[in-house]
């Protein structure tokens, strides 16, 4: 059984950011915009948002303290700002961190109790306020997912709060918003999108609907990631990446992901490695381990990434998928070894323990126990 539930109005196309004011005014006259300092200070996005909102007589409060990782105190402060401003709608503009921070602010600002309680598993008793997402990367797919991955900076525990009421009401997916992404961010966020497309396709939660999205996502990402990295002003490549990332996010929201994401969360909370870099790095190793459990699907992955599989056996074609992924992520500068980030064998114990508690890990096509996770991490060291 698979449920397709995506209550988000998804608006795509170059220039669709111009719809922000009209989208926001449906929900009220007071908006909180959540973003990071780079977006607020080094781009004109906030000024453009402000003009679009004031044209619809929506007043705007800007909260630009989003950090590289969505840490609990930043979300808690955002909830205070939303309540001080009596916000009726939250707008998250940026990468996954900004959108997840916005998602948690919108989802929790009306609820009793502390953010920490919800992060530790307290049930959500009610809805929040409407959320609009605008990705500026391609990407995490966070514009169309119902979970926010948040970190407790004291314990370094990274965990999702997930609820059907946390889907954005509107997602504005405008590839023009991604043009200013530097190559390193294009590489890391693009690797995340690639990984999410492949892992949702091979997940044990996959089904025909999520497969349709994941397959198109793989061909779009496979055909455009390297170009977007090398020539950031190539609008065609940027648009393909935005659509690929969006579709991978939709597929992931239905099918969930796999072992790479299960290991990426603990690694990302213990080491300052961008999420997408960890995903790109671990992906070929984890695919190599998983091949026997989903050989036909990995053979499809090879074909969708542009490998000529004519004349190959299914096993050979599946093996080529691992090669194709390794080549692609290497071409865009993703390191192939965890030691490049200071990870050592001695430090793997807690990473393995925490990986085993991640639900993503248990959606991997080939079952992963502690020794399997260790073997993959040792190979990736
Ligand atoms: Fe991811």
Determine how many CB atoms are found less than 10 A away from the CB of residue 177: 26
192 CA to middle of ligand 1, Å?
A: 5
51 CA to middle of ligand 1, Å?
A: 33
Q: Supply angle C-alpha 271, 274, 279, rounded to 5.
A: 100
pTM of the model: 0.96
DSSP state of 27: T
User: How far are the Cα atoms of 66, 115, 123, 284 from residue 152, in angstroms, in the given order?
Assistant: 15, 10, 18, 29
Are 2 and 255 in contact, with CB atoms under 8 Å apart? yes
274 CA to middle of ligand 1, Å?
A: 10
Determine how many CB atoms are found less than 10 A away from the CB of residue 63: 24
365 CA to middle of ligand 1, Å?
A: 17
The distance from CA 57 to its chain's CA centroid, rounded to whole angstroms, is: 32
State the virtual CA torsion across 111, 112, 114, 120 in degrees, nearest 10.
-70
d(CA 377, CA 285): 8
Task: Transcribe 194-218 into DSSP letters.
Answer: HHHHHHHHHSTT--HHHHHHHHHHH
The H-or-E segment that residue 59 falls in is strand 59-66
Using the structure block, give the residue that is written with the tokens 């399997």. Answer: 372
292 CA to middle of ligand 1, Å?
A: 23
d(CA 294, CA 18): 43
Strand partners, 157: 152
Residues with CB under 5 A from ligand 1 (ion): 192
Structural domains in the chain plus CATH codes: 9-178 (3.40.50.1970), 183-380 (1.20.1090.10)
Using the structure block, give the residue that is written with the tokens 């995340």. Answer: 192
275 CA to middle of ligand 1, Å?
A: 7
Using the structure block, give the residue that is written with the tokens 């953010």. Answer: 115
31 CA to middle of ligand 1, Å?
A: 28
252 CA to middle of ligand 1, Å?
A: 9
The predicted pLDDT at position 156 comes to 86
Strand partners, 149: 160
Are 43 and 74 in contact, with CB atoms under 8 Å apart? no
The two structure tokens encoding residue 299: 């053979």
The predicted pLDDT at position 1 comes to 84
161 CA to middle of ligand 1, Å?
A: 15
216 CA to middle of ligand 1, Å?
A: 18
Give the residue from 221, 288, 295 showing the smallest Cα distance to 251.
Answer: 221
Give the residue from 126, 142, 95, 163 showing the smallest Cα distance to 248.
Answer: 142
The distance from CA 147 to its chain's CA centroid, rounded to whole angstroms, is: 10
The predicted pLDDT at position 3 comes to 87
d(CA 134, CA 59): 18
193 CA to middle of ligand 1, Å?
A: 7
d(CA 6, CA 168): 9
Instruction: pLDDT tens for the chain, 381 residues: list them.
Output: 888 899 999 999 999 999 999 999 999 999 999 999 999 999 999 999 999 999 999 999 999 999 988 999 999 999 999 999 999 999 999 999 999 999 999 999 999 999 999 999 999 999 999 999 999 999 899 999 999 999 999 998 888 999 999 999 999 999 999 998 999 999 999 999 999 999 999 999 999 999 999 999 999 999 999 999 999 999 999 999 999 999 999 999 999 999 999 999 999 989 989 999 999 999 999 999 999 999 999 999 999 999 999 999 999 999 999 999 999 999 999 999 999 999 999 999 999 999 999 999 999 999 999 999 999 999 999
50 CA to middle of ligand 1, Å?
A: 30
The predicted pLDDT at position 210 comes to 97
The predicted pLDDT at position 137 comes to 97
């Amino acid at each position: 059984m698979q449920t397709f539930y995506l209550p988000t109005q998804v608006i795509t196309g170059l220039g669709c950011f111009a719809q922000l004011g009209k989208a926001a005014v449906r929900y009220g006259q007071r908006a909180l915009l959540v973003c990071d300092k780079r977006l607020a200070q080094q781009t004109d996005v906030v000024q453009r948002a402000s003009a679009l909102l004031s044209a619809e007589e929506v007043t705007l409060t800007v909260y630009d303290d989003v950090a590289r990782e969505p840490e609990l105190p930043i979300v808690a402060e955002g909830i205070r700002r939303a309540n001080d401003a009596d916000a009726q709608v939250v707008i998250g503009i940026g990468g996954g961190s900004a959108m997840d921070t916005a998602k948690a602010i919108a989802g929790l600002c009306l609820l009793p109790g502390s953010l920490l309680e919800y992060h530790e598993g307290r049930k959500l008793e009610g809805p929040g306020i409407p959320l609009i997402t605008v990705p500026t990367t391609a990407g995490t797919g966070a514009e169309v997912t119902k979970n926010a991955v948040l970190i407790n900076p004291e314990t370094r525990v990274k965990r999702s709060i997930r609820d059907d009421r946390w889907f954005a009401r509107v997602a504005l997916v405008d590839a023009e918003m991604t043009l200013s992404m530097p190559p390193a961010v294009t590489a890391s966020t693009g690797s995340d999108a690639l990984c999410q497309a492949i892992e949702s396709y091979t997940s044990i939660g996959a089904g025909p609907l999520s497969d349709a999205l994941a397959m198109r996502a793989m061909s779009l990402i496979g055909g455009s990631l390297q170009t977007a990295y090398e020539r950031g002003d190539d609008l065609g490549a940027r648009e393909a990446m935005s659509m690929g990332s969006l579709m991978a996010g939709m597929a992931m929201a239905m099918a969930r992901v796999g072992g790479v994401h299960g290991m990426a969360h603990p690694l990302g909370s213990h080491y300052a490695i961008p999420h997408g870099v960890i995903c790109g790095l671990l992906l070929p190793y984890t695919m190599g381990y998983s091949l026997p459990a989903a050989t036909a699907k990995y053979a499809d992955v090879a074909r969708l990434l542009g490998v000529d599989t004519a004349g190959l056996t299914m096993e050979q074609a599946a093996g080529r998928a691992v090669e194709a992924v390794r080549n692609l992520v290497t071409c865009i500068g993703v390191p192939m070894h965890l030691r490049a980030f200071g990870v050592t064998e001695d430090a793997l114990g807690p990473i393995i323990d925490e990986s085993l508690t991640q639900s993503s890990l248990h959606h991997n096509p080939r079952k992963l126990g502690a020794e399997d996770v260790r073997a993959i991490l040792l190979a990736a060291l």
